[in-house]
Amino acid sequence: MTSAGDDGKPPRLPESDTALFREAARDVTPLPTINRAPVRPSRPRPLPRQRWRDEAQVLRDALADPWDMLEHGENGEALFYARPGLPHAALRKLKRGGWVIRAQLDLHGMRSEEARGALVEFLHRCARQDHRCVRIIHGKGLSSPNREPVLKHKLRHWLTQRADVLAFCQARPADGGAGAVIVLLKSPTH
C-alpha cells in the first residue's frame, strides 16, 4: 500500500488490488441511494426559568411574616383565634382549661426562623401522636428589643395559616398566661 500523496488525495490502489476487489464484490448489489435529508438532532425543550423564579418568589412570600409592629402592638388583648364552624362549647372548654395539655413547645430565645421550623416539626409530631391540645410558650418579649413580644405575634400568624389548627387562645395564668398559647388541633383521622 502506498501512503497519501502530497496533494492530500487518498492513495490509488495498485491495479492488482483493484482487480481483486472487483472480483470479490462481483455478486454484490449496490444499495439504492435514498433521497433523504440528513437528520438533525432535535432541539432541547426550553427550560421554564421565569416560571421557576416566580414559583420560588411565591414560596418566599408565603413563608414571609407580613407582620407590622404598629398594627399588632400590645393593646392588652389576649391572643385568640377560632376557625369558622368550631362549636362554641369546644372554644369555651379551651379558654377555661378543660382540655388536657398533651405536649408543649418552648420557643424562648429562638430567632424567628428557628421558631417557625421548631413549630412545624412540633405540630407534625403532635399529629403523628394524636395530641389534640398543646401549649406553645412564646415568652412575653421582655428581653426583646423594645420589650415587644415578637414571637407572640408571629406565632399568631403562623398558627392561623395552618389547616390543622382549629383554635388557640392565651393560656390561663397557671399555664403561662400572656407568655403562652393553648392550641386545639384537628384530629389527624378527620
Q: Is the dihedral of CA 131, 136, 153, 94 positive or negative?
A: positive
pLDDT of 71 reads 37
Q: What does the pLDDT look like over 126-183, one tens digit per residue?
A: 988 999 999 999 887 666 666 666 788 888 889 988 889 999 998 888 888 888 899 9
158 closest CA partner among 71, 62, 91 = 62
Asked whether the beta carbons of 102 and 70 are under 8 A apart, the reply is no
What pLDDT does 60 receive?
67
pLDDT tens column, 9-44: 777 767 788 888 888 888 888 888 777 777 888 888
CATH for 78-181 is 3.30.1370.110
- What residues does each domain of the chain span? 78-181
Output the DSSP codes for 3-34: ---TTSPPPPPPHHHHHHHHHHTTTPPPPPP-
Global confidence as pTM: 0.58
Here the cell at position 49 is 426559568
Q: How many CB atoms lie within 10 A of CB 171?
A: 23
| Crossing angle for the helix pair 150-161 and 112-128, to the nearest 10 degrees | 40
pLDDT in tens, 46-78: 888 888 887 777 666 666 555 443 333 344 456
